[in-house]
């Protein structure tokens, strides 16, 4: 796949960048209409930005997805984990790997774009992955595509709040050796 960001800078606004003390849904101080003003220029360019990429750029299965700034969401290259709990007992049943889809809060239904739904179904069928729709580091909902549900339907689960974690990602915390996440 031969795609380039071009003037798309949606990730620069939607994703948090710890090195810049930039929260989710805040415009990056280096963001310009033509792209990043410090792109790959140390020391101003954050290391996390240099290693990060969206799936629209890198995933061969994402061919029918439209450019992120045109649809209102960015699919993070790094998946995350959600903890599934039994509603009756409250006990943790299992962890499920999920796609992290950072959705523009001004376009909350952007995730319902047909290309993303087909992509999510393929990821569910082929890899058993759900989607974590992130509206910020603290607000998200889980979406199960039909291959993950017993009734073959789409399901949106959650009240919008997500577990507290050091990095905003349970998986990143675990990889760093820090697992202080708690379920809401």
pLDDT digits (tens, 9 = 90+) for 41-92: 888 888 888 888 899 999 999 999 999 999 999 999 988 888 877 777 777 7
- For residues 15 and 102, is the Cβ–Cβ distance under 8 A? yes
Q: Is 172 exposed, middle or buried (0-12, 13-18, 19+ CB in 10 A)?
A: middle
Q: Is 69 exposed, middle or buried (0-12, 13-18, 19+ CB in 10 A)?
A: middle
CA 96 remoteness from chain centre: 14
* pLDDT interval class at 182 (50, 70, 90): very low
Phi, psi of 73 (to 5 degrees): -150, 155
Q: What pTM was computed for the model?
A: 0.82
């Amino acid at each position: 796949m031969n795609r380039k960001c071009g003037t798309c800078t949606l990730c620069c606004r939607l994703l948090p960048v710890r090195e810049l003390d930039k929260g989710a849904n805040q415009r990056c101080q280096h963001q310009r209409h033509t792209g990043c003003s410090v792109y790959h220029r140390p020391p101003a360019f954050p290391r996390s930005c240099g290693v990060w990429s969206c799936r629209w750029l890198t995933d061969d299965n994402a061919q029918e997805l439209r450019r992120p700034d045109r649809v209102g969401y960015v699919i993070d290259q790094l998946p995350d984990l959600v903890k599934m709990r039994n509603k009756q007992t409250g006990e943790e049943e299992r962890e499920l790997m999920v796609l992290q889809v950072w959705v523009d809060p001004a376009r909350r239904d952007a995730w319902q774009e047909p290309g993303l739904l087909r992509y999510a179904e393929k990821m569910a069928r082929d890899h058993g992955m759900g989607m974590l729709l992130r509206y910020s580091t603290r607000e998200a909902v889980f979406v199960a595509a039909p291959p993950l549900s017993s009734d073959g339907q789409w399901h949106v689960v959650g009240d919008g709040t997500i577990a507290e974690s050091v990095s905003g990602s349970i998986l990143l915390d675990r990889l760093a050796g820090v697992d202080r996440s708690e379920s809401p």
